[in-house]
Structure 1
Amino acid sequence: MARRGLGMDVLTAARQRVARLFTDFPCMYVSFSGGKDSGVLLELAANEARRRGRRLGVLIVDLEAQYQLTEDYIRLMLKRHEDVLDVYWVALPINLRNAVSSFEPQWTCWEPGKEDAWVRPRPAEAIGEADYFDFYEYGMEFEDFVPKFGDWYSRQHGGKMTACLVGIRTQESLNRYRTIASRRKQRHDNLPWTTMISARVFNAYPIYDWRVEDIWTYNGREHVPYNAVYDRMHQAGLTLHQMRLCQPYGDDQKRGLWLYQLIEPHTWGMVAARVQGAEFGARTAREIGNVSGRIKVTKPDSITWEQFAQNLLASMPPETAEHFRVKIAVFIRWHQKNNGYTDGVIPDEGPMDKKTPSWKRIVKMLLSYDYWCKEFAMAPPKNKNSYEAYRKRMEIRKQEWGFRGTV
C-alpha cells in the first residue's frame, strides 16, 4: 500500500482519530508503557476524555526490569490525568524472553519466592493478586495476556465495544508498517489504523504516521512531561531513532543492556543479577563477530559450517538445542519444497541473503541466539500451550522428513 498525504499535519490527524474513537466506542483504554510514544498517546486521549466528560482506562503491564525513571514518569502521568483515568497497573508473573542465556531462555517477572532478586519493589498500587483477573494463568506470555485483558475490560463494562489505543508508529519497523497497511485484517469501519482483536475489541493506532521528530516537537510545543530517561540516552550518545524502552533481555532489546550501567548504575546491579547471562550480554552487545553473531561470522578452517553448527548445538542445554534443531529442520524442509533442494542437502556456504539457504546462515542464527528464528521469517507462538503442541507435532514431522540424529 503506497503512502499518501492527508492534507493536514499529524497532530491534527491524531486528534481527529482519537475523537472518532470516543464517538464510536463506549469503552476506551490506552496501553501505556512509560515510553515516549505511549506517553504522547495518553496525553491526547486524556485531553479528549476530559473534554467529553468521559472516563479512560489505562493498562500498564509492568515487566519489573525497567528504569526507576520510567516508574517515576508513569506516576507523574497518572497524577497529571487522575481526574479522568481508571488505572490497571499490572505487576503479575509473566513469562518473557531471555536472549542472553541458552541455559535460561525465559524468565518470569515478579516471580514469587524471588522477591530479594527483583529489580524493583513491586509498586504498592499495582495489581499483584493472581485471582484479580479471571483469565490470568501463572507465567502466561505477555502476548497472551494483553488481548485477554481487552476482552476482560469489555466484560467489566457490560460487553460494550472497546478500543485499545496503542502507540506504535510505522517509522519504527517494517512489521509495524504491515500492521497498518495489511488489507487482510478486519478493521473498524474500514479504518486502516484499526485492527480487530476480538468480536468486542479493536486495537487503534492514532499516531501511526508520526515520525520520532514529531513526538519531540509535540512534547516541546505543548510543554508535556516526558520520561527523563531519554535525556540520559541522549547524553550516552544515542540518536533519536535508537532510543527505545522495553524489557532489557529480549532478542533485540539486549543490545541496550549496556545503557543501564550508564543511566542508572544502581538499577544495573539488580538487572545484571536478575537473569543468567545479563552481564555477559551487556559486554558483548556491540560485538559484530562470533561472540554475538552480528554482521560477520567466522569459523576455524579445519571444520565446515555444518560441523560448526553441530558443535554449537552440542554446547547448548538439551532442551534449548532441541528447540533449535526443530527450527533448523523446518528451515531446511521449506527450501526442499520451495527452492529445489529435494535431497535435503543445503550448501555449506553461500550468499547471506534470505533467499539462499546455507549452514553459514544457520551458524549466524545460532550465534546471535535468535531463539524464535526471526532471521528465517519464523514467528514466536501465541502462547505457551500452542508452543508445546507445536513441539510435539514437529517432533513427529522431523522423523517423517528424515531428520534424525543431530538435526
Structure 2
Amino acid sequence: MPKTYLDINVLDAARERIRKVFDDFPKIYVSFSGGKDSSVMLHLVMNEAIKRGRKVGVLLVDLEGMYKITIKHIQAMYDLYANNIEPYWVCLPIRLRNAVSVFEPRWMCWEPGKEDVWIRNPPKNAITDENYFPFYWRGMEFEEFVPEFGKWYGGGKLTACFVGIRADESLNRYRTIKGNKSTFEGIQWTTWIGDGVYNIYPIYDWKVSDIWLYNTKFGKPYNKLYDYMYQAGLTPSQMRICQPYGDDQRKGLWLFHVIEPETWARVVARVNGANQGALYVRETGDIMGNIKITKPEGHTWKSFAELLLASMPPQTREHYENKIAVFLHWWENRGYADGIPDEADIHEEAAKKVPSWKRICKALLRNDYWCKGLSFTQTKSTAYEKYKKVMKRRRQAWGLINF
C-alpha cells in the first residue's frame, strides 16, 4: 500500500495524537522498555501529562537479562518523572523463549530457587510479590502478562496504553498499524485489545533518524547502551535491548562480552546454550540453520530430520513432532496426499509456498521452537498442555505417530 504524506511533521503529529488521547481517555499508561523508541515516547507523553497535572502509569516488565547501562537509564527516567507517574517495575517469574538450546527451550526470569544464578538482583522499588496482581500466575508468558495488566490497570474504564513501535522497523510492526483490526473511533494508530483497553502508537510514522534528532534537539536522556552498540559496529536495525536469549535477540548475545564482561559471566551461566549461541548464531550453515544448510552424507532431508529429532530430549522432541504432524497433515489435504517432497525450489521454500523436509530440517537446526518457519504462530501457555493432549489424539487419527 502506498504511503500518504500529510502536511505536518512527525513530531507535531505525535503531539496531536497524544493530546487527543489525554482528552478522551480517563486512564493512561505507558509500556516502557528502556529502548530508544519507548524512551522518546515516554518523554512526549510525560510532557503532556505535566502540562495537565495528570499522573500516568509506567509499566516496565523487567526480564532480568538486561545491561547495567539500561537499568541505570530506566531508573533515571523513573526519577525524572517521579511526580507524575504511577511506577510499575515488574520483576516477577515470567516464562520466556530460549532460542539457544533444545535442552532448555524456555526459561523463567526471576525463577524462585535460582537466586544464586540470577543475572542481577531486582531493584528495591520493583514489584516482586507474586500476589501483587490478582491476574498473575507463575510462569505466565510475557505476551499474556501485558494485556492482563492493561485490563487490571484500567479497572473497567476506557484505558490507553502507549506503545513505542515504529512501522518502518519490520513488516510485523507495519501490519500492526495497517492491518484489519478494531480501533478507537476508526483511528488506525490505535488497536483495541479488549475490556476497554486500546494500544496507542503515537510515533508509528517516525524513522530511526527522527528518534535521534529528537534526542539531540531537546537534550533528552536516552539509553547510552546505543552508543556502545554503535561503537561495536552495529547498524540501527541490529540494536536490540530485549531479553538476550530470544530468536532475534540471540544475535546480539556476543555484545555482552564486549560491552559488559561482568554481566556476560552471569548471562552465559544463566541458561543452557548461551555461550554456543554467542559463538555461532551469526554464522551461516548447519550449526544454527542460517541461510544455506547441508545434510550428512547418505541421508535424505527426511532421514536427517528424523536424526535431529532423535537427538533431542523427549519433551522437546514431542513438541517438534506435534508441529511437524500438523504441517504434514495440512499439506496432505492440499495436493500432497503421497507425502511432501524431500526438497523443492529454494525460492518457493523461502517464500513458504511449498512444503519440504528441507524446510523442516531448517526449522530444527535453527531451534525454531514455535516453528514460525513452517508458518506456525506462538501457542499461549494456558492452552499449551491442552494442545499437547489434543495433538496426541490427532496424530493417532492421522496415522502420523511415526513419520
> How far does residue 199 in structure 1 lie from its aligned partner after superposition?
2.2
How far does the alpha carbon of each residue in 1:269-305 deviate from its partner, in whole angstroms, 9 at most, with x for none?
A: 0000000110111111211100000001011231111
Question: Residue 82 of structure 2: SS of its match in structure 1?
Answer: coil
Show the counterpart of 1:227. Answer: 223
- The within-5 A match list for 1:310-389 is 310-338=306-334, 340-343=335-338, 345-352=339-346, 353=349, 354-381=352-379, 383-389=380-386
Matched, 1:243 2:235: no
How far does the alpha carbon of each residue in 1:218-249 deviate from its partner, in whole angstroms, 9 at most, with x for none?
A: 11111111101101100100012211211010
> How far does residue 372 in structure 1 lie from its aligned partner after superposition?
0.4
Matched, 1:216 2:212: yes
- The within-5 A match list for 1:92-131 is 92-131=92-131
> How far does residue 4 in structure 1 lie from its aligned partner after superposition?
1.0
Show the counterpart of 2:173. Answer: 176
Show the counterpart of 2:33. Answer: 33
Matched, 1:392 2:400: no
> How far does residue 379 in structure 1 lie from its aligned partner after superposition?
0.6
> How far does residue 367 in structure 1 lie from its aligned partner after superposition?
0.4
1:305 pairs with one of 289, 301, 325 = 301
Show the counterpart of 1:143. Answer: 143
Separation (CA, whole Å) in 1 of partners of 2:375 and 2:65: 28
Alignment TM-score, normalising by the size of structure 2: 0.97
How far does the alpha carbon of each residue in 1:155-183 deviate from its partner, in whole angstroms, 9 at most, with x for none?
A: 2xxx2211000011111111111111112
Give the fraction of aligned pairs with identical amino acids, expressed as a percent.
56
AA paired with 1:233? M
Separation (CA, whole Å) in 1 of partners of 2:200 and 2:166: 11
Number of positions where the alignment pairs a residue of Structure 1 with one of Structure 2: 399
Separation (CA, whole Å) in 2 of partners of 1:300 and 1:64: 39
Contact 1:347 1:357 in 2 (8 A): yes
Separation (CA, whole Å) in 1 of partners of 2:396 and 2:206: 49
> How far does residue 373 in structure 1 lie from its aligned partner after superposition?
0.8
Where structure 2 has 5 or more consecutive residues not aligned to the other structure, the ranges are none
Question: Residue 199 of structure 2: SS of its match in structure 1?
Answer: strand
Matched, 1:64 2:64: yes
Separation (CA, whole Å) in 2 of partners of 1:217 and 1:267: 31
Alignment TM-score, normalising by the size of structure 1: 0.96
Separation (CA, whole Å) in 2 of partners of 1:37 and 1:75: 17
Question: Residue 333 of structure 2: SS of its match in structure 1?
Answer: helix
RMSD: 1.0
Matched, 1:24 2:24: yes
Contact 1:258 1:283 in 2 (8 A): yes
Separation (CA, whole Å) in 2 of partners of 1:175 and 1:262: 30
How far does the alpha carbon of each residue in 1:321-353 deviate from its partner, in whole angstroms, 9 at most, with x for none?
A: 111111111112221223x1022x111111232
Where structure 1 has 5 or more consecutive residues not aligned to the other structure, the ranges are none
Question: Residue 87 of structure 1: SS of its match in structure 2?
Answer: strand
AA paired with 1:363? C
Separation (CA, whole Å) in 2 of partners of 1:12 and 1:312: 54
Separation (CA, whole Å) in 1 of partners of 2:193 and 2:232: 39
Separation (CA, whole Å) in 2 of partners of 1:160 and 1:361: 47
Question: Residue 57 of structure 2: SS of its match in structure 1?
Answer: strand
> How far does residue 3 in structure 1 lie from its aligned partner after superposition?
2.0
AA paired with 1:36? K
Separation (CA, whole Å) in 2 of partners of 1:348 and 1:299: 11
Question: Residue 153 of structure 2: SS of its match in structure 1?
Answer: helix
> How far does residue 200 in structure 1 lie from its aligned partner after superposition?
1.6
